Amino acid sequence: MKPQDRRSFLNSLTLVGLSAALPLPALAAGKVKPAANSALIVVDVQNCFVTGGTLPVAKGEEVVPVINKISAAFENIVITQDWHTPGHASFATTYPGKKPFETTTLKYGMQVLWPDHCVQGTDDAALHKDLKLPTAQLIIRKGFRKGVDSYSAFEEADRKTTTGLAGYLKARGIKTVFVTGLATDFCVAWTAMDARKAGFEAYVIEDATRGIDLNGSVAAAWKQMAAKGVRRIQSGDIAMA
């Protein structure tokens, strides 16, 4: 049946006849089915960002079972890892007299200063041991230049240096990304917004993220993401079949 025939056919149905005449829909209402050209991006689910780590996000570890579960719906999975040098420009300890969560101005603009975290090669920087993503195809590391931070998986904080992720995804024909991980208001939000900037459709799966929330930064991030066309969904919205 051609689409226009189908429409007029549907229009001609009465409400009573509708359920009997139509085949069952493949998906429940509102479900999102990741396609072959979709990728799951799992941002910074590392020891540093969960309870016991150097920059713990409250309840950060709770994203692990959610991400493990939804990963089965994706053919393509990319993992990111915050991966800093010792003495990194984003560390408060690099600046005498500065404390974590204060800010400073670097060449590329304002920088929040963090406790030392995710130092290259340390156990703190390792992926969470319970993250089970055997089908993941790429681990992209970011923030590895001593003088530049990188919240986004796509572009470093100087807004000039690319991580190469957009090129990789495009070369593989990926059109849509689903972003999960830590933290909602920093690396997840920047990754999702940069995905939009690079031309991808972008979803953030809210219950597969947790935020740091400095002065209302989680609410602000959702607002900014919405303005860039990032869609906010829950893991239950993903069609798993």
Query: Catalytic residues, which ones?
Result: 44, 142, 187
Give the shortest CB-122-to-Zn ion separation in angstroms. 13
Only one of the segments 20-28, 135-143, 164-172, 225-233 lies at the binding site for Zn ion (rule: CB under 5 A); that segment is: 135-143
Minimum distance, C-beta of residue 186 to Zn ion, in the bound complex (Å): 8
Smallest separation (angstroms) from Zn ion to the CB of 91: 9
Q: Which is nearer to Zn ion, 56 or 143 (CB)?
A: 143
CB of 124 to Zn ion, least distance (A): 11
Choices 13-21, 126-134, 139-147, 156-164; region in contact with Zn ion by CB under 5 A: 139-147
Q: Map the chain to HEC letters.
A: CCHHHHHHHHHHCCHHHHHHHCCCCCCCCCCECCCCCEEEEEECCEHHHCCCCCCCCCCHHHHHHHHHHHHHHCCCEEEEEECECCCCCCEHHHCCCCCCCCEEEECCEEEECECCCCECCCHHHCECCCCCCCCCCEEEEECCCCCCCCCCCCECCCCCCECCHHHHHHHCCCCEEEEEEECHHHHHHHHHHHHHHCCCEEEEEEEEEECCCCCCHHHHHHHHHHHCCCEEECHHHECCC
Query: Who contacts 141 (Cβ-Cβ below 8 Å, separation ≥6)?
Result: 80, 81, 82, 83
Is the CB of 32 or the CB of 183 nearer to Zn ion? 183
**Residues binding Zn ion: number (CB under 5 A):** 2
Taking CB under 5 A as the binding criterion, the range among 77-85, 132-140, 162-170, 218-226 that sits at the site for Zn ion is: 77-85
Angstrom distance (rounded) from CA 184 to CA 217: 9
State which of residues 82, 116, 156, 185 lies at the interface with Zn ion (CB under 5 A).
82
Candidate ranges 6-14, 129-137, 141-149, 188-196; the one touching Zn ion (CB under 5 A): 141-149
Q: What angle do CA 154, 44, 173 make, to 5 degrees?
A: 40
Q: Residues 13 to 72: which contact Zn ion by CB under 5 A?
A: none
> Which of 61/149 has CB closer to Zn ion?
149
CB closer to Zn ion, 143 vs 181 = 143
Dihedral sign for Cα atoms in the order 139, 205, 228, 84: negative
Least distance CB 113 / Zn ion (angstroms): 11
Note whether 185 binds Zn ion by CB under 5 A: no
Q: Which residues bind Zn ion (CB under 5 A)?
A: 82, 143
